[in-house]
Each structure stands twice: as structure tokens, then as C-alpha cells.
Copies of this chain bind each other. A is one copy, B any other.
Amino acid sequence: MPHSPEENIAHMTEHDHFSRWMGIEILEVGKGSCSIRMKVKKDMLNGFGILHGGVSFAMADSALAFASNSHGRLSVALSNSITYPNPSKEGDELTAVAKEISLGFKTASYDINITNQEGKEVALFRGTVYRTSKPVIPDNTPQ
């Protein structure tokens, strides 16, 4: 029996140390989509006192992993691009929403938009994954 998107993502997050460090909270998951939340803390700031671009990327990348693996097939990022329309500061409450924009047999693409508590966009991310033939949750039954 195939696993649900919720089961697949629960399996992934169980050992996801960095998402835990970031304090990522999962609001909603579906087939090919998800919505997650995170609060910007001091340890995430760069030398200019704003959110380090790598942390907003990491948040988007986690959303990409959850959305693409929700189908149950282990999927790995092939390439990504990100732009930062507005900066983010300590205490901001960020929400990342992942949407599937194409789903092929071997690859799939996703848009992840991150907004702050005022609805202002802080990152626009687009990622393409390679869909392996392995399951997200290894079963005891032969594949």
C-alpha cells in the first residue's frame, strides 16, 4: 500500500537535523505541495544584520524536498535558482509555500515562494529534482 504524503514527510523530518535547528514547522502537505513556517532567529543573520541568504535558501530547499518526496519516490535536487526581492530581519515569521509546476517521470519542477508576516515576498525559489525509482520509506517487501 502506498504511503501518504504525511507519512513520507514524517519519515524525512524524523532525522532532519538542520530543519530542526531552523525550527521549521510543517503547516500542510499534499501531493506535490507543502506549506512550512519558520521564525528568523539571531543565529541566522549575516554580517549586514539581515537574514543570511543561505538560510532562506535552506528553508526553500526543505520545502522542495517535502513537496517532491510527497509522491513516495525518493527525489533529489538537480538544480535551483533563487532571487531575494526583499530582506528579512530577526523576529520575522516566514512562510514557504511549494507548488508543483511540472511532473515528469524522471524529473519534476517546483516553485517555492517565501513571504513574511506582512505578506511581503522575501525569496522566490525554483527547483528541479531527479525522481529516482527508490521509495522514500524503505519497505521490507521486495521492490
Contact = CB atoms under 8 A, between A and B. Distances in A.
Number of this chain's copies in the assembly equals: 4
A78 B19 contact: no
Given A77-B53, A78-B78, A128-B83, A47 B61 contact: no
A15 to B, nearest CB: 5
A124 to B, nearest CB: 6
A115 to B, nearest CB: 11
Interface in A32-71: 42-49, 52-55, 57-62, 65
A126 B60 CA distance: 16
A46 B124 contact: no
Interface string A1-36: 000000000011111111101000000000000000
A43 B21 contact: yes
Contacts of A82: 79-80
B65 A59 contact: no
B57 A15 contact: no
Nearest to A129: B78
A105 to B, nearest CB: 11
Given A19-B47, A52-B58, A85-B109, 12 more contacts: A11-B47, A17-B42, A17-B45, A19-B46, A54-B57, A54-B59, A54-B62, A57-B58, A58-B58, A78-B83, A83-B109, A102-B124
